[in-house]
Amino acid sequence: MKNFNFLIYNSKKFSNDTSKDIFGSLKSLKSGNSNNEINMGIRLNSDTPSSNENYQRYMKLITGNKEYVAEKMKENPDYFRNLAKTQTPKYLLIGCSDSRVPPNEITKTNPGEISLLRNIANQVNHSDLNCMSVIQYAVENLGINHIIVMGHTHCGGIKAANEKKYLGLIQQWLTPIKDMAIQNKDELLNQTDKVDFIERLTEINVKMQCLNVCKTPFVQKAWKEGRDINVSGWLMDIETGLIKDLTITNEEWNDIKSVYDYNF
């Protein structure tokens, strides 16, 4: 029996291609008028042993998906047909990429209930087009009424930001967390040890990202239109599995609102 050998990508440079755009290049390839070719897909390789550890780990995901579908179909034969019709989530959750913090599982919610955005250390960066696009779409198109920023204990991003080790490109992503540490140095220096310091910095990070959500024009415009959109900050404790509401208050936004407020 042949086994999947994952995704094989092989391309030759378009050195002889005279087309002026990608559409022309692809048409040329399809018609066979070019000496160049692109082979992209899954290669079947009978030499790959079924006991290969990486392969087994990969197939565990495929098998798990089939089991998941079977369970859902047993509960409701129309489950996926209904899911495909539309999505009407009431929440947007901005969380960390950490594999130990799966939003749907820890909140016991189903697909379609929470719109998700995840990145390292749950950042809401206004220069991040992905993040801004997700927030805009959630507010203006999905009509969500609650945005949640969720951090977690033992966050590798927060720990990395605290260290001085050079990490390459990721260091630029973590720089705002270092800035937060400087801005809140008096409070952070009151912590008794490094563990407490990291935990408090994690909480401050969540609150700052909540304020960054409030600064977006999409949320502010919705508020001025009378929409009831709430912004909340959570901290998930990995050691207990429990979520702590960090109680972001209106006063915290009102203190800086005049600087970031838009005139629509």
What is the C-alpha to C-alpha distance for residues 40 and 44, in angstroms, rounded to an integer? Answer: 13
Lowest average pLDDT, out of 42-51, 69-78, 102-111, 123-132, goes to: 42-51
Asked whether 203 and 197 are in contact (CB, 8 A), the reply is: no
Strands, E assignment, 74-192: 91-96, 114-119, 146-152
* pLDDT tens-digit series, residues 175-215: 999 999 999 999 999 998 999 999 999 999 999 999 999 99
Q: What is the mean pLDDT of residues 8-37?
A: 60
**Could you give the residue range(s) of every CATH 3.40.1050.10 domain in the chain?**
87-260
Catalytic residues: 96, 98, 100, 152, 155
pLDDT at position 24, please? 72
* pLDDT tens-digit series, residues 89-101: 999 999 999 999 9
pLDDT at position 99, please? 97
User: With 50 as the cut, is the pLDDT of residue 152 above it?
Assistant: yes
Give the contacts of 7 (CB within 8 A, at least 6 positions apart): 40, 41, 42
Asked whether 145 and 227 are in contact (CB, 8 A), the reply is: yes
pLDDT at position 28, please? 74
Q: How confident is the model at residue 48 (pLDDT cuts 50, 70, 90)?
A: low
Q: What Å distances lie between residue 208 and 114, 190, 211, 257, CA to CA?
A: 22, 19, 5, 13
Asked whether 220 and 263 are in contact (CB, 8 A), the reply is: no
* Predicted TM-score (pTM) of this structure: 0.81
Residue 105: what residue type? E
What is the C-alpha to C-alpha distance for residues 230 and 214, in angstroms, rounded to an integer? Answer: 10
Question: Per-residue b/e over 95-106, b at no fewer than 16 CB within 10 Å?
Answer: bbebeebebeeb
Checking DSSP bridges between strand 91-96 and strand 146-152, what pairing results, if any? Answer: parallel
Q: What Å distances lie between residue 38 and 6, 21, 29, 32, 35, CA to CA?
A: 17, 16, 8, 12, 10
Q: What is the mean pLDDT of residues 168-172?
A: 92
pLDDT at position 160, please? 95
User: With 50 as the cut, is the pLDDT of residue 163 above it?
Assistant: yes
Residue 61: what residue type? L
Q: Helix, strand, or coil here: 16?
A: coil
- For the 87-260 domain, the top CATH level (class) is alpha beta
pLDDT at position 9, please? 44
Residue 54: what residue type? N
pLDDT at position 21, please? 75
pLDDT at position 95, please? 98
Q: Helix, strand, or coil here: 101?
A: coil
Supply 118's token pair: 């995840």
Q: What is the mean pLDDT of residues 115-139?
A: 98
Asked whether 92 and 144 are in contact (CB, 8 A), the reply is: yes
Lowest average pLDDT, out of 47-61, 139-153, 205-219, goes to: 47-61
Question: Please, what is the average pLDDT of the chain?
Answer: 88
